Each structure stands twice: as C-alpha cells, then as structure tokens.
Amino acid sequence: MARRRKDYRLDPSPISLAGEPTSLVVNFLDPNGRLEESFDFSIYGTAPSVAAAIALAFRNHHAGHSPATREGAFKTLRRWFAFLNDHTPAITSMREVDTATLRAFIAWLDAKPWTKSSRHGSWSAMKQMVRWLKRNRPDLVAPDLEIPFNAFPRKNAETRPREALSRSEMEAVLSAARKDIEAIWSAFETGKALLSQVDREAIAQERDLSRLDLDDLGVVLAVIVEHYGGLVPPQNVTLERGSGRWRLHHASLKHGGNQKLTSYLHTLPETLIPYMIAIGAQSYANPEALRELQRGCMSNHLLLDGREVMTWSKGRSNRVQRRSFLRDKSMSVPNLVDQVLEMTASLIPYVPEQDRERLFLVASINGTRAIKLIPDYLVSRHVRLFAQRHGLVDENGAPLALTLAALRTTGLTLAHEALGHDILKTQILANHATPDTTQRYIDRPIVRKAQERIIGDLQLRFVQAVRGPDDDDDESDDDTPTVQAEYATAAGFICKDPLAGIGEGQKSGRLCTAWLGCFTCPNAVIPLDPDVLTRLLSTRDALVAARQTLASERWRLLYAPKLEILEHDILPRFSPELHMVASMNAAPALPVIE
C-alpha cells in the first residue's frame, strides 16, 4: 500500500483581505475586552468614502497607542476634512488624493495663523494615515502617490521656551505647599481622633437628632458618617420642611460650616492642590499624567531596600514612567501618596467606575456635589488660587503665574544643574526618548550661562596648559603638568609627529588621517601669537598647493573644509599688525599633504 503524503497546503482565508472599507465607527477595547474608546468618523460625512479609509488606517495604526494619543490624533484629523471641504475639485475617495493634493494641504496649513509645531502636528497625523494605507492597502490610494518629505523643517525652532520658576520661586512654592499640607493632614487626623471618641454605633441607630449632643464636634462628624455616608449633606437636605434636620444645619454653622466639616472627613479641590504640587515637583510628571495617577502607583523597589517606586503613564508615550523615592522625610512622595489615599478612601463608593482607580478623587460641596476625579479646569483654577492665597510673587515682585506644567520644567532645570549639566543624565531622569526633547525643557538663559561658564573654564585651562605658567607663578605649588607648546595639536598649535602612526587606525610613515581635523573642533583655542599665525599661513599655502596635486574628490572631501575654515574664520581674527610680523618669520616645515 502506497504511503499517503501529507498535504501542507493551507486553505484560503474565508475573510477577504480586500474590498472597500465601510465602517465609520472605530472601537478600541481594554485588556479585559470592555469598550475603552469609540471614535465616530461619520461626523465627517461630507466625504464618507475618504472617512472610511481614514477610519481603517486609524483603527490599525493606533491599536497599540494610549487613549490620550488616539483622542488627540482623532481631534487633529478634523483639519484634513476641513481642508477637503475647501478643496476644489471635490475629493470623493482616497484614490483621488495625489501628491499635489497633499502639497495643497501643506499650503493650506501654512496659511493658517498657527504655530509651526501645531501645523506640523496636523500634517503628521494625516501623514501617518496615508503612510499606513500606502503600505498596507495600496489599492485604496493613488498608485503614484508620493508623501512630501520634511514639510515643516525645524518645527521647534519657533517654539517659545517652556515657562520655569527660579530656584527662589520654587522654594517659596514648596514652602507654601508644606504649610498647607501640614494643616490639611492635621485637620483630617483631628477628625479621625474625634470619631474614635464617640459611640458611632449608638449614633447610627439614633434617628432623633434632638437626643444627640450636636455641640460636640465628634458627634456631628459621626452623624455625617453614619447617616449620610461621610458626605456633608447640602443645605436643601438639612433644611427640608418637616425632616427635623435643621439642628444639624445650625450645628454645622456653629462648627465652622460645611467646608470646615468636610476638611475633617475627606478631600476638597483646594486640599488636593498642595499635594499635587508637592508630588509633581518631586516626580517631574506631566500635569495630565499627574492628575490621572493611579491609586496603586507606589510599589517597593525590587533591588534597593527602603526605596519605593512611583509609576505612571504619560499620554503621548507607551513607556511606563518611573521614579524612586525614600520615606525619610514627611514630604517625600510615598508619604504624601499614603495621605491622599487615606483622605480619599471614603469617596471610592461614590465615584464612577472609570475613576475608582484614580488617586486624586474629590467631592465638591458646592453646586452639583460631583464626586469624581478632579477635573483639569478645577486644577488650573485652584493652582491660581493657591498662589494668590499665599501671596506668591516672582523675582520682579509681580504675582506668580504658577502652573503644574511649570513644576516639571523647573524640576528638570534644577536637576540638570545638580547633575553637572549632563543632558544625557537629565534625559534619563525625564524619561525622554531623545536628548532634543530634554533640551527644549532646560534651554533657558541660566542654563546656557552655566554651560558657557563650564566651556570657558575648560578653554582657560587648556590655554594655560599650552602657554605654560606665568613668570609670576614660578613658585606656585600647583601640581598641574604643563604642556610644551611644540607638542600641542593642530588648532593653533602643532602635532608632535603626524607621520608616527601611533593614533588608532593609523600607519607609521603615512600622514595621520585626522591631521588638521582640529580646525573643525568647536572647543579649539588658538592663541593670537605671531608664531602661531606663521604656522597657520604656512598651512594655508600647503593646502592651496595640495589642491593642484591631489585627486579632486579626495581634496574636496578631506581638506577643502579645513581651508575654508582657515581662510574665512581663523586668519581674519588676527590683526594686520600680527600679519605683518608673521610675514617676516621663516615658514616652518610641514608634513607632505597626501
């Protein structure tokens, strides 16, 4: 019987991988399979075929991105559809979008009174959709479509520097926050102590408030906890006709009002702000990421005893952000987080399900009595009120324009200074993907002056080493070794032996490939000396002569940049008098340029 051969062929997929996209609603699910976000592209109904293709790209491109990134991209795409409404002739499908259409979109953005970074963001959001369609669904785009490259060059060149506080301003802000935190935590601790001193079980069973001693603050707090779930009832409840709760209303007024009573039980918007300022100043978290901190954001460090790690998510990044802290001070982040957890624990049963894992929960006692994650508008408002309440002023005496965003910039600037102005270390601290992003945070006059001072100190030490000690310093006890000027390198000084071949990758008897490379070094220091000028003039003549003997490509690649720097930047810095003296000196012998 013949052996039957196994068939390795795959059945064709029953799901078609082509066809026109029709769905205009994009749903994203969380890891548990529940709906996390939904985006309806039908609001761009003027071009449904285009919207369906963009929705398809949006669903696939942003599948692994954070909710904040998706929401921002969806809002930004509206500018593309606004452009289509203004475009003539009308675009009915993505196949009609050619390179000229994309360039027209760029020109349309350029005509808007927006910053270059904002225009680049609008273009980038649309470019990602077009790129995904071109790579994965080429049947939906024009066959000859080319995406313009670098439509908005140097997009961050015009960006205004991020606002930051000075060291003295930051110290004043943290001092005010400490003062508030101590008072807030003291009031909450007082409330816990008062509740522990009364018979809460008996108060919970008593329905007639006239039988209770409401002059006792602990009794009043127990009534609120046991009868109203720990939330101070509004005035329309306590003064309801026939309810008999008017005594509680008058007792509340006697003990300082609803605001005062609430401070003994849970957080208010104004009591959360000092904690957010103190935590944000130490963690360098972005304002929105700080506001959305999770209740389980703290965990023990896996390697270091006594340290705890704070983790959080940043909206525009898929990487988890981390910083570790000690518990050695009352204002350390782990201690502050523990206090907020305890003060908001009683609010968890009342907040919406999507907010129950958030740290900064708040119950407002005014208006609608909403209990939820503190809204961003309330954060901004109460940060301003915090600065006004403490009379915070800037270095010019004007009211301090305090924001949570300024805390991150200020913290990174001060940390950059403490790290010796090492941008790579600061980048790691800030959890940035590239040093360019970090540079935009710390690029301010005080940092630039410090960097210039460091470079100046290095240049001064170098010049002193080349020139040797002054005559007045012959008896100095300084152990710093001096360098013979004749053995220095090429930027205004000389190499000991360019033909020795002792450098990495060099051969003895052949001219060093790095010869004259010091001309291009930004840290080069060239003394204004006749002997130095004589050698530079001789080098210039040798480079000009080499142009006639070397292969043109080799000369252009290796020596033309040196000659250009020498003629246009270095030699013009010497005075005519020095040129006159140097012209009378004998030209030194130079290695053959090959």
Among residues 90, 119, 140, the one where a domain terminates is: 140
- Residue with the bigger pLDDT between 16 and 83: it is 83
Q: Under a CB-based contact definition with an 8 Å cutoff, are residues 414 and 167 in contact? A: yes
Residue 367 confidence (pLDDT): 61
Whether 411 and 423 map to the same domain: the answer is no
Nearest CA to 44 among 28, 29, 25?
25
Whether 312 is in a domain gets the answer yes
The full DSSP string for 148-183 is PS-SSTTTTTTPPPPP---HHHHHHHHHHHHHHHHH
**What is the enclosing helix (H) or strand (E) of 37?**
strand 35-40
Residue 474 confidence (pLDDT): 47
- Residue with the bigger pLDDT between 380 and 209: it is 380
Residue-wise pLDDT for 311-321, tens only, equals: 988 766 667 88
The DSSP output letter for 208 is: -
Q: Does pLDDT of 488 surpass 60? A: no
Q: Under a CB-based contact definition with an 8 Å cutoff, are residues 248 and 377 in contact? A: no
Entry pTM: 0.63
Residue-wise pLDDT for 203-221, tens only, equals: 888 888 778 888 889 888 9
- Residue with the bigger pLDDT between 489 and 552: it is 552
Whether 379 and 453 map to the same domain: the answer is no
Sheet of strand 320-326, all strands in order from the earlier edge strand to the far edge: 298-300, 307-313, 320-326
- Residue with the bigger pLDDT between 463 and 283: it is 283
3-state secondary structure 14-31: CCCCCCCCCCCEEEEECC
- The length of the chain in residues reads 594
Residue 418 confidence (pLDDT): 82
Q: Could you give phi then psi for residue 311, rounded to 5 degrees?
A: -120, 145
Query: Average pLDDT in the 121-130 region?
Result: 93
Q: Under a CB-based contact definition with an 8 Å cutoff, are residues 343 and 267 in contact? A: yes
CB-based contacts of 180, cutoff 8 Å, min separation 6 = 271, 273, 274, 386
Residue-wise pLDDT for 38-96, tens only, equals: 999 888 766 788 999 999 999 999 988 878 788 889 999 999 999 998 888 888 889 99
- Residue with the bigger pLDDT between 376 and 429: it is 376
Q: Under a CB-based contact definition with an 8 Å cutoff, are residues 18 and 56 in contact? A: no
The pair of structure tokens assigned to 463 is 């010049």
Least confident stretch, 8-17, 40-49, 232-241, 554-563:
8-17
Whether 494 is in a domain gets the answer yes
Residue 303 confidence (pLDDT): 82
> What sign results for the dihedral spanned by CA atoms 501, 502, 503, 504?
positive
Q: Under a CB-based contact definition with an 8 Å cutoff, are residues 332 and 312 in contact? A: no
Whether 342 and 442 map to the same domain: the answer is no
Domain count, the chain: 4
Residue 97 confidence (pLDDT): 92
Give the gyration radius of the chain's Cα atoms.
Answer: 35
What is the Cα–Cα distance from 183 to 430, expressed in whole angstroms? 31
Nearest CA to 225 among 242, 243, 248, 247?
248
Query: Which of 109-113, 246-250, 558-562, 579-583 has maximum average pLDDT?
Result: 109-113
CB-based contacts of 539, cutoff 8 Å, min separation 6 = 516, 566, 590
Whether 307 and 372 map to the same domain: the answer is yes
Whether 145 is in a domain gets the answer no
Least confident stretch, 422-426, 435-439, 475-479, 513-517:
475-479
Whether 98 is in a domain gets the answer yes
Whether 31 is in a domain gets the answer yes
Domain boundaries, position 119:
25-140
Whether 180 is in a domain gets the answer no
Residue 240 confidence (pLDDT): 75
Whether 561 and 532 map to the same domain: the answer is yes
Work out the percent of the chain whose per-residue pLDDT is above 70.
84
CA distances from 299 to 97, 282, 337, 338 (A): 51, 17, 11, 12
Q: Does pLDDT of 490 surpass 60? A: no
Residue 460 confidence (pLDDT): 76
Whether 437 and 555 map to the same domain: the answer is no
Whether 412 and 423 map to the same domain: the answer is no
**What is the enclosing helix (H) or strand (E) of 513?**
none
The DSSP output letter for 36 is: E
What is the Cα–Cα distance from 458 to 452, expressed in whole angstroms? 10
Nearest CA to 295 among 229, 376, 220, 351?
351
Long-range interactions of 213-218: CB distance < 8 A, separation 24+ = 214/247, 214/248, 214/250, 214/251, 215/251, 215/254, 217/255, 217/264, 218/194
- Residue with the bigger pLDDT between 389 and 529: it is 389
Q: Could you give phi then psi for residue 284, rounded to 5 degrees?
A: 60, 30
* Amino acid of residue 202: A
Helix (H, G, I), strand (E, B) or coil at 454: helix
What is the Cα–Cα distance from 546 to 591, expressed in whole angstroms? 12
- Pairing of β 25-29 and β 361-363: unpaired
Whether 371 and 438 map to the same domain: the answer is no
What is the Cα–Cα distance from 531 to 578, expressed in whole angstroms? 9
The DSSP output letter for 253 is: H
Whether 396 and 507 map to the same domain: the answer is no
What is the Cα–Cα distance from 186 to 76, expressed in whole angstroms? 46
Q: Could you give phi then psi for residue 256, rounded to 5 degrees?
A: 110, -5
Q: Does pLDDT of 198 surpass 60? A: yes
Among residues 140, 173, 204, the one where a domain terminates is: 140
> 368-382 burial, b if ≥16 CB within 10 A, otherwise e?
eeebbbbeeebbeeb
Residue 104 confidence (pLDDT): 94
Residue-wise pLDDT for 232-276, tens only, equals: 888 777 777 766 778 888 888 888 888 899 899 999 889 999 999
Query: Average pLDDT in the 435-459 region?
Result: 73
- Pairing of β 35-40 and β 25-29: antiparallel
Whether 102 is in a domain gets the answer yes
Residue-wise pLDDT for 145-181, tens only, equals: 999 988 888 776 666 667 788 888 999 999 999 999 9
Residue 67 confidence (pLDDT): 80
Among residues 469, 494, 511, the one where a domain terminates is: 469
Whether 432 and 410 map to the same domain: the answer is no
Mean pLDDT of the residues in the chain: 82
Whether 557 and 448 map to the same domain: the answer is no
Whether 497 and 423 map to the same domain: the answer is no
Least confident stretch, 19-33, 88-102, 374-388, 503-517:
503-517
What is the Cα–Cα distance from 152 to 130, expressed in whole angstroms? 17
> 308-320 burial, b if ≥16 CB within 10 A, otherwise e?
bbbebbbbebeee
Whether 97 is in a domain gets the answer yes
What is the Cα–Cα distance from 303 to 311, expressed in whole angstroms? 16
- Pairing of β 307-313 and β 320-326: antiparallel
